[in-house]
Structure 1
């Protein structure tokens, strides 16, 4: 049976002048023909054979993607050895561990990784071979010649062909000083090559490549792939889709990963195709390669498709409404046409197709879970992303969707020659198909784990590979992956939960960038679902949201309500750094769980978590006098400031400052160091440095602290903030008289009340407590979209025509809702993004004798119960000296709960309490705001409980 190298030689003889490997660089393309690549490989193979490399010898590779990496791999196999590709992200101790485990005698590395290689082989018998002569800047320490006593170069010359200059003998290895391995480089090897080379014959069952699975350096497991495995993989793929000399396959994954080795090295080089790599990996270079290198096939992890998907749909979202409607219509037409065998996608969405290049015909993704919705979206654009599945133990690919029948959400059917089945399937209570462990056998299944017969016996039984992955087959034989067996969370009630399924559900929130779900022991024993969440700070900045915790909690509550109770996360913590992942973007779950547990243990012990060291520039910034003064104020205002505040600390997540407290802090910093930051800029301030620098830049432009500024440790700024009138006409016109409009609204609300009462009932108590004149605040718990409408239903005309409210642009920002806002005196000002304008708008209306409808929770309750009250109502009440009228409502949640459509005409109950008189403005303080807010919530909650009990009694 031929070997992988034999098949490569066949291609080199058939198409010697065809490009085999290309590297796209910013300044051009470096290209090697099949004849040239064969020459490089044979030079390396010849050097290894001349230097007495025994068959089966392991040689490691630690380098970035490059034709010389490919030549090294081919040369090692041609010489009868086995290549051991290593992860370039490994530290020296990790490299050393795998070198020792594999028994590698040489380490091929590029100049970039030389320092790590040097440290890894220090004190060992492993020699280093550099892929380029530029690495000659570093050399092993010279050793004394036995004949002349002069230093002998460690790099072999043309005349120096002894084994000592290549692969060190045992005696010579022992003579090399610690930290000074023997070394040569490919340029020297290529220069010294002469004569013909005959590849060393190897059997189909002999080792060709030894790949270490990701994340296994603590317990190394080298996967042994034979020549038969490699050609079995190639045969299976070629039976799935044609690949030939006309094809170009783009590779962006590092070649040490099995998916990249198979897709970007094995397949093209045994089919006469062209492999294309990038010297610099970024979006610009990647899209340039797709556009200019005539790429026909591209296998990559899902993250790439997510990036392109976001780019397409964000751009469309910014277009005019007519364009968006046309885009949606064409997508629906494409979906319909594809059901009958037509694909107008390239005609409708030509620019999108051009992103992938005009010759692209195969787009494949694998390595980690692929979001089915993204797949459906691409299909609606006429683009098929084919999901594949495999393991390092199966040469990378075992299943893949067919280009002719792409079943989105599945990984398709097994490659030719591969048998697979499900064992130990367990039924599910939620009606989903029974999942079990996926096992398979065939020519692609590994020989075993290197020197680990125990580990091999655990996963290979009677020729079947037990993958540890869970899944099920549909009626047509398509495989669906449920998750990893070892990652399944078993709850205290015995139910199994697949974390990827839960994560996919919560990732529907646009402000959650990443999430890792795990099982954590609850207070009552038994596992509960816990999550680590990384916010999408880019989306938060675009939406000008600074209350990160609030919006995440709001989205988590809403999404949880759509899940079975056993699948809801019961707790979470927020991380600001990206989650640790493998090369193929799989979450390192157990590392995250260890960090969470360690952090909880450290918190309990009062220990501090490790932090990144400050840069020299950050240290210099902290030494500025004005910065020091600002930091002193920030520390005083923070509820959870660490001992040493850092420039990158998040004002909310690290220092515990909500949006109200941030405004107070900003004013205090302005009073201390000068400046007057525009209100619009406050929504762009997230970190300590952003706030301090915003004030410093404002001061440098000429703004100064006002004379007689208050001491920095006190805050009475809300009084000054609220005294300033808004200039927005949408706000200032709320005081205009409009008797006809108000009369129409009054009659409409009465009609709405009449209709509701025809189906149910509306009970009102305490209407006499609403002031008949003057300014006041109506503050109610918030259950539904119906709440403000039915306040208008019950209020008399004299009160109704003097009411106004503040609403968010999310609800009232466009279309008919914006017109409704103008009609009902709702000022569209986002309190989170523009807190000061929102507070000024409220103060303006109150100062002009109007009543303000304000919901202190700032959101609709997820379950109908009163939530946390914010202090905005208290601030307005104290500084404007207007009473707060507490209101409790019940039944609205049952009629139209959050996250659902209108449900029913439920009985509505409204109870209005006696007005609450604020303390004098001279008593304004953080404590006064908090006290009044607490009293308001207590009053509303007490009335609500009475209404709730009455409702329960009526039901019973």
Structure 2
């Protein structure tokens, strides 16, 4: 049987009394988790959910997300995770596009959730801790697990929609199960002794596979943080003796520069994993120096379950996304899908057990993304002579100034070297003579000071003349998505 829910069944049988999910002082053992997932399956059955039906979850990082997730999978239903911050029309789109007829929404977010559900003709159940036990009271547990085929869809994950409306990536039980095994058994070696930091959104593929599912598979404890905050994160690490920290670059940036970090005991950390966006080398070095813990940078996408490649504990290079994981092939190709020589830049394409089944209900987009069995990532990359991969930039973020290619990440790396810079994003704006012109938007470290001219000259001294930003704007904070990734599409330049 391939059903991902069997991981919970097996772990609960093996380690019934070990802590599975923790939120603050509240702890759920594996036996309790398994029993609750059986009751959730009964609740879903009561509401007419059958195998293949879509069940939408609009919850933050709370234990109820995990219970609903595994309860739905147990029935053979398809989980549609959604950001609880979505607004009415966005909720309606996700529900209508996926065909979900049942939405679970966390208390405090029900106004937008219910309004969107009405538009999509879906039913809403508000999840509130005090009333939750009543929803499950008197139900007969569903002990059996639906026999899912390897190619059955387990989850529909909506992409961030940087181009057009979000598309739902169909990840199968086999997609996720294999990626989970690789994360736990080959990459970060998760065991039942580990405590995994649960600050990545569980509705996002990184947090879902590498945190929730990997912890359940290995019998580790997942300690949840509903909203990332550096102080709360450090308190969680110190209190629960977190051994595995997983985050996106903005989390590492904030923690590396947090002035009170030495007040917290983080000595339990044994490995950290970064993904979701490129991790600037300066931030990696600053974090490792501050916390005396190795950071493994990896790479993946919603469409690849997500892990494609990662650095290893015994084999890593700063600035690299490592080498492909077991069973995954990558190529770097030009616009004609011809492999480029070692060291040259091209588009990274992927083939393997991790590549999604399709975009839900979108055969044309699926064929465009996977025309020949190789998934087009849209990311520009290069490979060195030892096989290590380096993401250069998003293909669509490439700036072409006077016919010269400018890769924003290269310029951003230089900005991060300035002692006053906390975050940086390099973007293009139209220019009548050069086509694209270059701008940098920068947020400074707490208490730091720098002038735009100073930052511009700093970069100018370190890169070719066509690469440095002609416009530099300093802001209090850069716009970010749910996972903390900087959203360049939401940056508005005020001086051009």
Q: Which residue of 2 aligns with 1:236?
A: 182
Does 2:35 correspond to 1:88?
no
Does 2:292 correspond to 1:292?
no
What is the SS of the residue equivalent to 1:458? helix
Evaluate the alpha carbon distance shift between residue 214 and residue 195 of structure 1 in structure 2; reply closer, same or farther with a 3 A threshold: closer
Cα deviation for residue 528 of structure 1 reads 2.0
Does 2:222 correspond to 1:275?
yes
CA distance in structure 1 between the partners assigned to 2:177 and 2:136 by the alignment: 29
Deviation track 1:903-925 (CA, whole Å, cap 9, x = no partner) reads xxxxxxxxxxxxxxxxxxxxxxx
Cα deviation for residue 222 of structure 1 reads 0.5
Cα deviation for residue 129 of structure 1 reads 1.4
Q: Which residue of 2 aligns with 1:46?
A: 42
1:141-540 equivalence runs, <5 A: 186-194=132-140, 196-215=142-161, 218-237=164-183, 238-279=185-226, 281-311=228-258, 355-358=265-268, 360-378=269-287, 382-424=292-334, 433-493=343-403, 495-536=404-445, 538-540=447-449
CA distance in structure 1 between the partners assigned to 2:248 and 2:421 by the alignment: 20
Q: Which residue of 2 aligns with 1:322?
A: none
What is the SS of the residue equivalent to 1:539? coil
Does 2:129 correspond to 1:129?
no
Is the radius of gyration larger for structure 1 or structure 2?
Answer: 1
Deviation track 1:625-671 (CA, whole Å, cap 9, x = no partner) reads xxxxxxxxxxxxxxxxxxxxxxxxxxxxxxxxxxxxxxxxxxxxxxx
Evaluate the alpha carbon distance shift between residue 123 and residue 235 of structure 1 in structure 2; reply closer, same or farther with a 3 A threshold: closer
Cα deviation for residue 575 of structure 1 reads 5.2
Cα deviation for residue 218 of structure 1 reads 4.8
Contact 2:39 2:142 in 1 (8 A): no
Cα deviation for residue 377 of structure 1 reads 4.4
CA distance in structure 2 between the partners assigned to 1:425 and 1:384 by the alignment: 37
CA distance in structure 1 between the partners assigned to 2:138 and 2:40 by the alignment: 10
Contact 2:416 2:424 in 1 (8 A): yes
Counterpart of 2:29 (choices 25, 33, 38) is 33
CA distance in structure 1 between the partners assigned to 2:105 and 2:267 by the alignment: 33
Higher helix share: 1
What is the SS of the residue equivalent to 2:462? coil
Evaluate the alpha carbon distance shift between residue 529 and residue 279 of structure 1 in structure 2; reply closer, same or farther with a 3 A threshold: closer
Contact 1:384 1:406 in 2 (8 A): no
Deviation track 1:849-893 (CA, whole Å, cap 9, x = no partner) reads xxxxxxxxxxxxxxxxxxxxxxxxxxxxxxxxxxxxxxxxxxxxx
CA distance in structure 2 between the partners assigned to 1:218 and 1:362 by the alignment: 37
Q: Which residue of 2 aligns with 1:587?
A: 486
Contact 2:58 2:105 in 1 (8 A): yes
Contact 1:248 1:296 in 2 (8 A): yes
Q: Which residue of 1 aligns with 2:70?
A: 74
Evaluate the alpha carbon distance shift between residue 524 and residue 377 of structure 1 in structure 2; reply closer, same or farther with a 3 A threshold: closer
Q: Which residue of 1 aligns with 2:460?
A: 560
CA distance in structure 1 between the partners assigned to 2:200 and 2:458 by the alignment: 37
What is the SS of the residue equivalent to 1:112? coil
What is the SS of the residue equivalent to 1:363? strand
Deviation track 1:742-779 (CA, whole Å, cap 9, x = no partner) reads xxxxxxxxxxxxxxxxxxxxxxxxxxxxxxxxxxxxxx
Deviation track 1:769-826 (CA, whole Å, cap 9, x = no partner) reads xxxxxxxxxxxxxxxxxxxxxxxxxxxxxxxxxxxxxxxxxxxxxxxxxxxxxxxxxx
Q: Which residue of 1 aligns with 2:7?
A: 7
Cα deviation for residue 445 of structure 1 reads 0.8
What is the SS of the residue equivalent to 2:218? coil
What is the SS of the residue equivalent to 2:72? helix
Evaluate the alpha carbon distance shift between residue 454 and residue 279 of structure 1 in structure 2; reply closer, same or farther with a 3 A threshold: closer
RMSD in angstroms over aligned alpha carbons?
Answer: 2.5
Contact 1:111 1:134 in 2 (8 A): no
Q: Which residue of 2 aligns with 1:814?
A: none
CA distance in structure 2 between the partners assigned to 1:217 and 1:68 by the alignment: 32
CA distance in structure 1 between the partners assigned to 2:311 and 2:219 by the alignment: 24
CA distance in structure 2 between the partners assigned to 1:468 and 1:124 by the alignment: 32
Higher strand share: 2
Cα deviation for residue 440 of structure 1 reads 1.2
What is the SS of the residue equivalent to 1:469? strand
Cα deviation for residue 274 of structure 1 reads 1.1
CA distance in structure 2 between the partners assigned to 1:90 and 1:577 by the alignment: 24
Structure 1 stretches lacking a partner, 5+ long: 136-185, 316-350, 427-431, 541-547, 601-956
CA distance in structure 2 between the partners assigned to 1:488 and 1:196 by the alignment: 52
Cα deviation for residue 525 of structure 1 reads 4.8
Q: Which residue of 2 aligns with 1:950?
A: none
Higher RCO (C-alpha under 8 Å, 6+ residues apart): 2
With normalisation by structure 1, the TM-score equals: 0.49
CA distance in structure 1 between the partners assigned to 2:165 and 2:427 by the alignment: 23
Deviation track 1:651-704 (CA, whole Å, cap 9, x = no partner) reads xxxxxxxxxxxxxxxxxxxxxxxxxxxxxxxxxxxxxxxxxxxxxxxxxxxxxx
Contact 2:276 2:299 in 1 (8 A): yes
Q: Which residue of 2 aligns with 1:899?
A: none
CA distance in structure 2 between the partners assigned to 1:518 and 1:77 by the alignment: 41
Contact 2:198 2:224 in 1 (8 A): yes
Q: Which residue of 2 aligns with 1:796?
A: none
Q: Which residue of 1 aligns with 2:339?
A: none
Query: Which deviates further from its counterpart, 530-539 or 221-230?
Result: 530-539
CA distance in structure 2 between the partners assigned to 1:217 and 1:527 by the alignment: 20
1:754-773 equivalence runs, <5 A: none
Evaluate the alpha carbon distance shift between residue 217 and residue 35 of structure 1 in structure 2; reply closer, same or farther with a 3 A threshold: farther
Cα deviation for residue 378 of structure 1 reads 4.9
Evaluate the alpha carbon distance shift between residue 425 and residue 410 of structure 1 in structure 2; reply closer, same or farther with a 3 A threshold: farther
Evaluate the alpha carbon distance shift between residue 280 and residue 392 of structure 1 in structure 2; reply closer, same or farther with a 3 A threshold: closer
Contact 2:456 2:470 in 1 (8 A): no
Contact 2:9 2:34 in 1 (8 A): yes
CA distance in structure 2 between the partners assigned to 1:203 and 1:379 by the alignment: 43
Evaluate the alpha carbon distance shift between residue 564 and residue 216 of structure 1 in structure 2; reply closer, same or farther with a 3 A threshold: closer
Contact 2:333 2:346 in 1 (8 A): yes
Cα deviation for residue 133 of structure 1 reads 5.9
Structure 2 stretches lacking a partner, 5+ long: 337-341
With normalisation by structure 2, the TM-score equals: 0.92
CA distance in structure 2 between the partners assigned to 1:365 and 1:195 by the alignment: 38
Contact 1:511 1:552 in 2 (8 A): no
Evaluate the alpha carbon distance shift between residue 357 and residue 277 of structure 1 in structure 2; reply closer, same or farther with a 3 A threshold: farther
Evaluate the alpha carbon distance shift between residue 369 and residue 532 of structure 1 in structure 2; reply closer, same or farther with a 3 A threshold: same
Contact 2:270 2:293 in 1 (8 A): no
